[in-house]
């Protein structure tokens, strides 16, 4: 693991350790601890040689990653390509149940999102991370570099940048997306964004603010890896609730 981690930082990809056979960070602040310093990296894997390798996405590594989850996610990603245009060959990783597609940082903000790009296709940008080969998934399967993909990280086409940036278009998530979030939860890097979307989903269905707060606290405690501080959940509920009230007032509804 150490030699791979060192090779990744030589290519400008900031890394940090996750627990062996897990996606949970093995450092106090997760992706915020990601480093390009070889001495720091040697210290991490010297202390825990079997730790998984996580790459911090976003500006720090100058990349963002599209995560196609399972066969459905790969089909949706292929559908995007048929709709908008061909994607360039780029570095890809075979995960335990899907694919990671690496793209160069476009110079504009790309945030983490879950199924915004397409159903079962997540995006990892600023504040996110993904496991790199030869890390071991909790299922026991190893991550692996795809042999039939590009061996360099490509620039994303304009249409993909438009869809993943803050001002890009999004589509409503299907019901199964919310079921997946509630049952399977999310890892660090997607927690804040997912909590915000979940709060918005509940408010749009006119769930009382106190109920939204309690539901998100329970979801956070049971399904976020690791859980967010309770104050962050309160912040999300207050922020999203305020925006929802403004939307209703603008529409003449209360």
Predicted confidence (pLDDT) per residue in 105-156, tens digit: 988 888 888 888 888 899 999 989 999 999 999 899 999 999 877 788 999 8
Structural domains of the chain, with CATH? 2-164 (3.30.2250), 175-250 (no CATH)
Alpha helices in 85-174 (DSSP H): 158-164
Task: Indicate whether this model's pTM tops 0.75.
Answer: no
Q: Provide, rounded to the nearest whole percent, the portion of the chain with pLDDT above 90.
A: 52
pLDDT score, position 196: 85
226 upstream amide cis, omega within 30 of 0: yes
pLDDT score, position 171: 45
Is residue 254's pLDDT more than 70? no
Lowest-pLDDT choice from 49-58, 167-176, 241-250:
167-176
CA distances, 131 to each of 99, 204, 210 (Å): 11, 34, 36
Is the pLDDT higher at 178 or at 14?
14
Predicted confidence (pLDDT) per residue in 189-221, tens digit: 678 877 888 898 899 889 999 999 999 999 999
Torsions phi, psi for 163 (to 5 deg)? -75, -30
Predicted confidence (pLDDT) per residue in 26-63, tens digit: 999 889 999 999 999 999 999 999 999 999 999 999 99
Is residue 167's pLDDT more than 60? no
- Spatial contact of 243 and 212, defined as CB atoms under 8 Å apart: no
């Amino acid at each position: 693991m150490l030699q791979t981690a060192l090779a990744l930082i030589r290519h400008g990809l900031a890394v940090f350790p996750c627990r062996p056979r897990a996606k949970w960070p093995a450092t106090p602040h997760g992706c915020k601890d990601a480093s390009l310093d070889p001495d720091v990296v040697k210290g991490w894997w010297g202390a825990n040689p079997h730790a998984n390798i996580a790459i911090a996405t976003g500006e720090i590594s100058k990349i963002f990653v599209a995560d196609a989850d399972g066969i459905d996610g790969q089909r949706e990603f292929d559908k995007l390509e048929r709709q908008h245009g061909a994607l360039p060959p780029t570095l890809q990783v075979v995960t335990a149940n899907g694919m990671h597609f690496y793209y160069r940082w476009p110079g504009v903000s790309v945030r983490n999102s879950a199924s915004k790009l397409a159903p079962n296709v997540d995006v990892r940008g600023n504040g996110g991370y993904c496991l790199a080969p030869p890390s071991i998934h909790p299922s026991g399967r190893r991550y692996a570099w795809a042999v039939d993909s590009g061996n360099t990280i490509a620039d994303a086409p304009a249409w993909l940048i438009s869809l993943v940036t803050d001002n890009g278009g999004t589509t409503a998530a299907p019901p199964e997306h919310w079921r997946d979030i509630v049952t399977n939860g999310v890892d660090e890097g997607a927690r804040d964004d997912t909590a915000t979307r979940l709060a918005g989903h509940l408010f749009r269905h006119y769930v009382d603010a106190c109920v939204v707060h309690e539901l998100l606290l329970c979801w956070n405690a049971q399904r976020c890896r690791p859980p967010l501080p309770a104050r962050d959940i309160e912040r999300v509920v207050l922020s999203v609730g305020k925006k929802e009230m403004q939307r209703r007032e603008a529409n003449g509804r209360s």
